[in-house]
Amino acid sequence: MSTPAMGVEIDGRIDPAEWQGAREITDFRKVQPLSREPATLQTKVWVMATPEGLAVAFRNNQPVETRTRQKVQRDFEAQVDRVNLMIDYDGDGRTGYNFTVSSTDGIADAVISNETQFNDDWDGNWQHAVSEDDTGWNVEMLIPWYIAPMRNGSDGMRTVKVYFDRVIGSTGERSAWPAASFERPRFLSDFEPMQMAQYSQSLLAVTPYASGLYDNVGGDSDFDGGADIFWKPNGQFQLSATINPDFGQVESDDLVVNFSATETFISDKRPFFTENQGIFEFTTPSDFSQLLYTRRVGGPADDGNGAGDITAAVKLNGSVGATKYGVFAADEADEVGRTFGALRVVRDFASQNLGVMLTQVDRPFLDREASVMGVDHNWRPNQHVSVETRVIGSQIDQDGRTSDDTGATMWVNYEMEDGWRQQWLAMHFGEELQINDFGYLSRANLNYLNWQVMRRFTDQPAESRYASKDWRGRISGTDNDHGQRLQRQLRISRQGNLRNGSFEYAQININSAFVDDLLTRGNGNVNLPPNFNAYLEYERPRKGNWSWELEADAFSGGLAGNDRIGFDIRLQPTYFFNDAFSVYLGAYYEQIPSWLVWQNDNLIGEFDEKMMQISAGMDWNIGSKQELRVKLQALGLDAPLRQAYRVDGGGNSIASADAVDDFNVQNLGFQIRYRYELAPLSYLYVVYGRGGYQQEPFSEDTGELVRDSLELRDDEQLLVKLSYRFEI
């Protein structure tokens, strides 16, 4: 139990007098590799509750010559020396918060949900400082009590669950207390309970913004403004609201060229929509699926003209006893505007938690009203087994017709001895299940089963270049609701963590013959032959002036099956002129010899696709408050036709003389972004952006297409945005 303290000066110097009475933790164990052996380098942590927040100090012993000096931007992913504080304020394994500080005083923060899912789109306001000496380096943190909603304690005390870890950048070794790992199915639930004095802070924060945009293509200007409001009168209630939120023009999404029948998922970085969003997490094992996908709010308008205009949105989070709740509402303007609403309630029990979520969207332009309900249950019967269950139902009323359907998933993980694990996964999504008015599901009409067995090897010989290896084997099958086979697959994979901090992953999938029931958009199924793919990924962190990333894939598919082999490869080196300034230049090349693209009704084209993409950029951390980023992506795709086909009633592809054109695609995204931090969560942005997309009905060399894409100019804008957070 930590002893109450009056306060700590966050200056990076661990003053014994300030930390007197704090709980001291020294038993750090290796969790990457997951051997749980004593850490290579000594780490000490002091933690205590103060009226101003939770105070934490790290003392990290480390020789000077092995330390990384690289400067990093907020929410960095670089392999550098760093420490992490993770805390579950309610101790129920539902939502945690991660606070990261590097040895150069760079920071990252994230919300943890579903045991192991980290979302770094959230930014919190907390204090941190770093110092170093000849034998090691120190970190001090102060996390205010208003940072997140939390349940009330009792008798002046509260019990939270915590986790501390430290990463050595040069080797990738991670040591932690307790010895929990996000490489296991259970992570958040394995945090260590800690009782401490209960404090409460109130906060009213208003963040107005003003922006000016000049459109160099249209020749006009636009000025806008709005505000985000955050109010937390106590630990058990908080309110977030936004008036005319901006659309995140300061961020740059990666290029997407998608000719498939499924939607591409893109994360949301708008501040209001990331602030304490953890209560609304309701996901399933299907890739990215969730009941509340905030990019729907202000997404493409229902009349197809631009984006929806958000008038206002509000979000309430709170708790009553052991029950937590969340309310979300948003409204768009004009006759095409939509109204969004969500209600979330969760309750924690000793070895399980239960939640309910309701969403509703009114879309008057489409005469459509969509209601979705989900129930989620997480059960941890013992330290070795965890079970996650989700049940979903939707009801859609449109044009006087009502449709409804259900879905359910179950995920069972069993942690055995000597590094062995097993996993069973089952999913069902009914054909009429529709959650995409407010949520995200790549496809319905799905029944899926898999069994996976895994073994982790952490006792590598001293002379081995590997610190650990993790082998996995999986068999899976997918059918639609009509009993048609969509997939039968054998997967074998291996993950390796190297002693020099590098990472590698290799995987091979062997797939049986199957039916594609989405390609023709409801105009018949397509029978496809067996295929395979073999994938390799390698990442080497900075050594000297260079870091490297490599991905390569060999595969078959389409109507050709294993008769034609395609491949793709991506290589991206980064050169560091110094610790604060780096540049990168990457190239990606892809060739798909039997690429199937839907044309209309039951007509498809088989193309010999080739794509090349160039990625280049610069990151300059000018100082602790300033950064300059340049990002360029240029893409060229060439698709000469091999053959047109009509799909008959039996799913067979019959060669056709229908006219189908060769085509090519060019795409460009370019951004120069300067950011100056005026105060915590207060920024000045100056952003220049240019981009374009062009598709033409003829074939051309991919190299020429990439060069030509640099001349695209559908959009060219200069944006200046100022936001300032006032705390009361």
- Got the DSSP string for 525-594? -EEE--EEEEEEEEEEEEETTEEEEEEEEEEEEGGGEEEEEEEEEEEEEEEESSSSEEEEEEEEEEEEEE
Q: How far apart are CA 342 and CA 536, in angstroms?
A: 41
Q: How far apart are CA 86 and CA 110, in angstroms?
A: 9
What residue spans define the domains of the chain? 23-198
Q: How many residues does the chain have?
A: 728
Q: How far apart are CA 576 and CA 457, in angstroms?
A: 34
Q: Tell me, what's the pLDDT at 293?
A: 95
Those residues whose C-beta lies under 8 Å from the C-beta of residue 370, and which sit 6 or more positions away, are: 359, 360, 361, 363, 394, 395, 396, 397, 434, 437, 438
In degrees, to the nearest 5, what angle opens at C-alpha 99 toward C-alphas 93 and 104? 155
Q: How far apart are CA 645 and CA 562, in angstroms?
A: 19
Those residues whose C-beta lies under 8 Å from the C-beta of residue 136, and which sit 6 or more positions away, are: 59, 60, 61, 62
C-alpha pair distances (Å), 118 with each of 62, 115, 254, 318, 500: 28, 9, 20, 22, 25
Neighbouring CB atoms inside 10 A of 711's CB total 10
Q: In this structure, which amino acid lies at residue 178?
A: P
23-198 CATH choice from 3.20.20.70, 2.60.40.1190, 3.50.50.60, 3.40.50.10320: 2.60.40.1190
> What backbone torsions phi and psi does residue 240 show, to the nearest 5 degrees?
-120, 140
Q: Give the tokens for residue 289.
A: 């699926």
As a whole number of Å, the end-to-end CA separation of the chain is 32
Those residues whose C-beta lies under 8 Å from the C-beta of residue 624, and which sit 6 or more positions away, are: 105
Specify the 3-state DSSP secondary structure of 189. helix
Q: How far apart are CA 171 and CA 424, in angstroms?
A: 33
Q: How far apart are CA 27 and CA 339, in angstroms?
A: 52
Residue in the block written with tokens 């054909």: 431
Those residues whose C-beta lies under 8 Å from the C-beta of residue 465, and which sit 6 or more positions away, are: 498, 499, 500
Q: How far apart are CA 575 and CA 137, in angstroms?
A: 26
Q: How far apart are CA 635 and CA 586, in angstroms?
A: 12
Q: Give the tokens for residue 294.
A: 């905030």
Q: Tell me, what's the pLDDT at 6?
A: 56
Q: How far apart are CA 246 and CA 269, in angstroms?
A: 11
Q: Give the tokens for residue 399.
A: 């044009």
Cα-trace Rg, the chain: 26
Do residues 127 and 105 lie in contact, with contact meaning Cβ atoms separated by under 8 Å?
no
Residue in the block written with tokens 């997140």: 148
- Cα diameter, the chain: 85
In degrees, to the nearest 5, what angle opens at C-alpha 429 toward C-alphas 327 and 301? 55
The alpha carbon dihedral of 138, 144, 149, 153 has a sign of positive
Q: In this structure, which amino acid lies at residue 330?
A: A
Q: What is the mean pLDDT of each run of 10 residues along the chain (728 residues)?
A: 62 94 96 95 97 97 96 93 96 92 96 89 93 97 92 89 97 96 91 94 94 93 92 88 77 84 87 83 90 93 90 91 92 94 92 94 97 95 92 96 97 93 97 97 96 95 94 98 96 96 97 97 96 98 96 98 98 97 97 98 98 97 93 97 97 96 97 95 95 96 96 95 93
Cis peptide bond N-terminal to 33, omega within 30? yes
Query: Would the pTM count as exceeding 0.85?
Result: yes
Q: Tell me, what's the pLDDT at 249?
A: 65
Q: Which of 215, 280, 294, 279 is nearest to 247 (CA)?
A: 294
Q: Give the tokens for residue 91.
A: 């101790």
Q: Give the tokens for residue 265.
A: 């998922």
The alpha carbon dihedral of 295, 301, 307, 313 has a sign of negative
Q: Which of 683, 687, 625 is nearest to 73 (CA)?
A: 625
